[in-house]
Structure 1
C-alpha cells in the first residue's frame, strides 16, 4: 500500500481582494491575505501528502484561469475544480476548450449562497450539468443540509454524472444538528454516482474550541452512508485555519480511519481522489 498517492482533495488559493472575497468578513480576518502554492507546499511535504486539488473560491472565469495558471507552474497541484457559468448559451464551447487542459477536472457553483434552495433544479442549470459528462468533468456540490433534498433530485436526473459532496453538506456541528442532515445524506448517498469529502468540519464546530468526539457521529454516518470507497480526505485549507491548523484537520481523519483496513485508509487518504478526479 506504500505506493498509493496521498491527496488533499480540497483546498483553495487566492490573492486576497476585499471585493472578490467579500465572503471573508471580519470574523475571518486571518484569511484576509494571499494564500498561494508556496504557502501550502511545505505543509503538504511535512505531512507526506503528494498533491492536492485546488477548488474555486470565486465565481468567475478569471478564477478558473488563475487556478489553471498555478497548476501549470506547480506539479503538486494535481487538478483543479474551476467555475463556469453552467447556464451560459455557449457552455459546450467553453467546456470543449477547457477539456484541452488536462489539469481541469471539474467545476463547482456556490449553491450554498443561492437564496433559492432549489437553484440546482433550475432547467438551465440541470441542462448545464448534463453537458459535463460528455467531457468527463466532475461536479462538486457545495450546499447546506436544507439543500440536500434538491441536490438528491438533481443527481437522480443525471445518473451518469460524477458528483462529490463538499464538506459533508456543512451540518451545524456546533449545535449538534444531526436528524435533518442524516435524512438528507441518507437519500443522497443512495446514488452511487455521488462521493463525499471528509472536509470542512472544523469550521462548522466551535472555532478553535472543538474536540475530536464532536465529529465522530458525523463521520460515523458518512462512512455508513457512502462506504469507504466513496470518501475523500480534504483539508479545506486555508479556510480550516479559522478553527484548526492543517495538522489538526488531518489528524481528525487519520484518527477516525485508523481501524479501517490499509486499503480503505489508502483510498480515503488519496486513491479515491485519484480515481474520482482522474489525477
Structure 2
C-alpha cells in the first residue's frame, strides 16, 4: 500500500552555476553530483514512485568557505567587518540568492525550476556561522535577510551547521564554544519565530563520540530549541558487528529524553560503504531494522520524520538516479508496515512530524 501524503524533510538543490569546488568544496572534478540538481531533476527522480511528495524541506548544501573562520580584526569599523564577512561567505550567500529566486519564481536558466516550482518548498533550512562571535553572527543574519528578501526569509524554518566530517575532538571544541550555543538560542529560540536546528554528525566515520557530544549540546541549550537529527546520526551499516552499536543506542536514548528533539529517517543508503548497498528490501531491512526499531522505541512516531536525502542518496543508492528516491520510500513503507503503525502514526512519519518540528503548518 502506498504511503499517505509525503512531506520530504530533507532534500538538496543547486543550480548549474554552483557545481565547482569553489562553490562546494566537496564537488571535486568529475564527481557525478557536480551538475545541476534543481526541482525539475527532483521531479524526474520522484515521478516513478507510487506517491509523489506534496512538498519538501530544502537543507543547505555545505557551500564553500575559504577558511574555518573569517579574518576580521575586532578593531575594524562596522562597514569593514560587514564587507569582509560578505566576501568570506560569498558562496553561502549565493546559495541564499538561489533560494530567493526559487521562492519568488524569478528563476534563471540553470536553476532547474519553473516559475511556480518553489511553492513546493515548504521550508528552508539554511547555513549560518554559529561558531563566530555574536557581533559577527548578527551581521551575517542581516546579510542573509537582505539576500533572501522578506518572502524567502519567511520560508526559513531552520538552520544547519554541519558537524560531520570532523574529528570527535573538533566537534567537542565547536560545541564547547560559548558563542555556538548562544547563537543557536539567539536565532532558533529568541527570534521573530521559533526555528529548528538541524544536526548532522557521522558516527560511522567520525565515531560515536560525536553523537555523545551532541547530547551535551542539547542539554546546554535547553528545551527552547527544536533539534532535528539527520540521517540516524549515520551509523555504520556495513557490518552487523559494528562495535559502536551499543554506544549509538545509549547516546540516542539520552537524546530522545528531550521532547524537543526529532530524528530523520534519511541518509541510510550511503552508510553501507565500503560495501554495496543491498538492492532488495529484504536484505536492506535486515541490516536497518535494529537501528530503526531503536529509533521508534525511543522517539515514537510523532518524533521521527521521513527524508530522502536526495540527490545525495544517489551516492550509495543501488537503483540509479531515477530509482533511489522511490526505493527509499519503499524501504521505509515496508518497515512501517512491519511495525504495525496505525494510519495516524504513519501520517506523522510521512509528513506531520516534519511539519511539527519545523512549525510549517499545513502542507
- TM-score, normalised to structure 1, is 0.90
2:6 maps to what in 1?
Answer: 6
The 8 Å contact of residues 207 and 243 in structure 1, kept in 2 or not, is answered as yes
Of residues 185, 189, 197, the one that matches 1:133 is 189
**Preserved contact between residue 223 and residue 231 of structure 1 (Cα < 8 Å):** yes
For residue 137 of structure 2, the aligned residue among 91, 94, 97 is: 91
Task: Tell me which moved more, 269-278 or 232-241.
Answer: 269-278
Aligned to 2:39: 37
Match of 1:77 among 118, 121, 133: 121
| Two-structure CA RMSD over aligned residues (Å) | 2.3
2:230 corresponds to 1:166: yes
Q: Deviation digits for residues 233-269 of structure 1, max 9, x if unmatched?
A: 0000001012221111111111111220001101000
Aligned twin of 1:104: 156
- How far apart are residue 5 of structure 1 and its match? 4.4
Who wins on radius of gyration, i.e. which is larger?
Answer: 2
Q: Distance in 1 between matches of 2:149 and 2:166?
A: 27
2:148 aligned with 1:122, yes or no? no
Q: For residue 228 of structure 2, give the secondary structure of its aligned residue in structure 1.
A: strand
Q: Is the 8 A contact 2:20 2:27 kept in 1?
A: no
Distance 2:228 2:45 in 1: 25
Asked if structure 2 preserves the Cα contact closer than 8 Å seen for 1:228 and 1:268, the reply is yes
Task: Please give the per-residue CA displacement for 1:205-240, whole angstroms capped at 9, x wherever unaligned.
Answer: 233435321111110111111111000100000010
Q: What is the TM-score normalised by the length of structure 2?
A: 0.71
- Whole-angstrom CA distance in 2 between matches of 1:262 and 1:72: 35
Q: 1:90 to 1:5 in 2, by over 3 A?
A: farther
1:203 to 247, 250, 270: 270
Deviation at 1:71, TM superposition (A): 3.2
Label 1:36 to 1:169 Cα distance change in 2 as closer, same or farther (>3 A): same
Contact between 1:44 and 1:51, CA under 8 Å: does it hold in 2? no
SS for the counterpart of 1:8 is strand
Taking the aligned partners of 1:204 and 1:24, their CA distance within structure 2 comes to 19
Q: Where does the alignment leave 5 or more consecutive residues of structure 2 unmatched?
A: 64-91, 106-117, 203-207, 318-323
Residue 142 of structure 1 is matched in structure 2 by: 200
Find runs of 4+ consecutive structure 1 residues off by over 3 angstroms: 42-46, 92-100, 206-210
Equivalent residue of 2:181, what SS?
helix
CA contact (8 A) 2:46 2:325 kept: no
Q: 1:208 to 1:33 in 2, by over 3 A?
A: farther
Q: Report the Cα offset of residue 25 of structure 1.
A: 5.2
Could you list the per-position Cα deviations for residues 25-55 of structure 1 after superposition, in whole angstroms to 9, with x for gaps in the alignment? Answer: 58x9331211111111244455321010110
**Is residue 61–residue 83 contact of structure 1 (8 Å, CA) maintained in 2?**
no
Q: Is the 8 A contact 1:13 1:35 kept in 2?
A: yes
Whole-angstrom CA distance in 2 between matches of 1:65 and 1:108: 17
